[in-house]
Amino acid sequence: MNFLNKKKILLIICGGIAAYKSLEIIRLLKKKGAFVKTILTRNAKKFVTPLSVVSLSQEKVYSDLFDYKNESEMDHISLSRWSDLLLIAPATANTISKLSYGLADDLAATVTLASNKQVFLAPAMNVRMWEHQSNKDNIKKLKSFGYKLIGPNIGDMACGEYGEGKMSEPSEILNLLEDHFKGLTNLKKKRALVTAGPTQEFLDPVRFITNRSSGKQGYEIANSLNKNGFDTTLISGPSSQIADDGINLIKVRTVEDMFRETISNLPVDVAVFSAAVGDWKIKKYSKDKIKKTDNIVINLEKNIDILNNISNHNSLRPKLVIGFAAETENIHSNAKKKLLDKNCDWIIANDVSDEKIGFESNENAVSIFYKNEEKEDIKKTTKAHLANQIVDRILNHLN
């Protein structure tokens, strides 16, 4: 089966001697039935001509960030939205550095930073440049953003030296892209559900009790599942986070709302309960705003336990149930207890007493407790990178 047929590939060609291989990439992609649009950086034009690219791709070549002929189309947005995948080949040390620091001084970098699609890098550079610590740091950073690398290979270089840094051959790149779409095709039959954010329990029409969750970790997990081909539903409490295109986003407020929507969207293959669900709700709701002159006593009662209910459901239980445990003390013992009490497959625990990670932070550090009593620690990293690592483990589990 041809998994590249009718796929939309945005190819970004950077300035390096390996740029000549990009022409063969275009030819092979077109042969497979893919649609190819191309961005040439300023330096790339010194190695391949726009005319040769147009001849092979049968599409216009994009290059200038501020082109009055195209700016009405907002190229840096429309190109990334048009594509199914971004491929940067060759990816030079300069481009890798710019992307790692979020610089957007040309069309290629701006499109990449504005993209909501999977980005593949095919690095090509001198062996000393590849091995330089600054480049290693930049590559590590891009991996944490979710970028995927193809190569580089070890071999003779145009500069006469030998080592790692040689761009992968076009046929290798094509095979990996096809494997990527093959994996997405296989996973399209898989459904995932994620809960995220806080919940709110109302005392009266204007007041409620809630918690500090921003929802960022849950949104990042949903985005990563979506990028990896899952049919993803995200049920979110109040949050300012943004879900990627293609995700079925359902907004709720109370625990009862979240439970009702969760049940309505089952069955699924994977359920990740990352929402910071309120354990209690107001026992007696006031339809009118309570005046500050009133003497009130707030009585609470337990909310429905969504995780416990779904994890122990006879017919609707997902194949993989993952719960989260936000703890301030005895993290390991509390997480293990929750794993058993809730009948989960995994519990992902984090220490929310640390102000620098967890709630209201872009970073997190967790321990994953598995049903087979194994434990795995993931050190402090961005929530986006952590989400990718969690999804990698979900994919390995399903496979």
HSE-CB at 323 with a 13 A cutoff on CA atoms is: 28
**Among the options 54, 74, 103, 159, which is catalytic?**
159
Phi, psi of 58 (to 5 degrees): 60, 30
Is the CB of residue 395 less than 8 Å from the CB of residue 375?
A: no
Please name every residue paired with 198 in a beta bridge, in sequence order, or none if there are none: 276
Is the CB of residue 56 less than 8 Å from the CB of residue 30?
A: yes
Dihedral over alpha carbons 42, 46, 52, 53 (to 10 degrees) = -30
DSSP code for 147 = -
d(CA 114, CA 290): 46
- HEC string of 228-286? CCCEEEEEECCCCCCCCCCCEEEECCCHHHHHHHHHHCCCCCEEEECCECCCEEECCCC
Note if 159 is an active site residue.
yes
Please name every residue paired with 39 in a beta bridge, in sequence order, or none if there are none: 12, 62
Active site residues: 159
